Amino acid sequence: MTTAEKLREEGWQKGLQKGRQEAGYSMLQKLVHNAKKQGFSEDIIATIVNLDIPSVKKILNNEKIEIPWHLLEPVDKDK
Whether 54 is in a domain gets the answer: yes
Q: Which residues contact 58 (CB under 8 A, 6 or more apart)?
A: 64, 65
Total number of domains constituting the chain: 1
For position 55, which CATH number holds? 1.10.10
pTM: 0.68
Q: For 9-44, what is each residue's pLDDT tens digit?
A: 888 887 877 777 777 788 899 999 999 999 999 999
* Domain region containing 30: 21-71
Whether 62 is in a domain gets the answer: yes
Whether 36 is in a domain gets the answer: yes
Whether 35 is in a domain gets the answer: yes
Q: How many helices (H) and strands (E) does the chain have?
A: 3, 0
Whether residue 41 contacts residue 47, with contact meaning beta carbons closer than 8 Å, is answered with no
Within 38-73, residue ranges assigned H as helices are 42-49, 53-60
Instruction: Kindly report each contact of residues 8-13 with a partner whose C-beta sits within 8 Å and lies 24 or more positions away, as own/partner.
Output: none
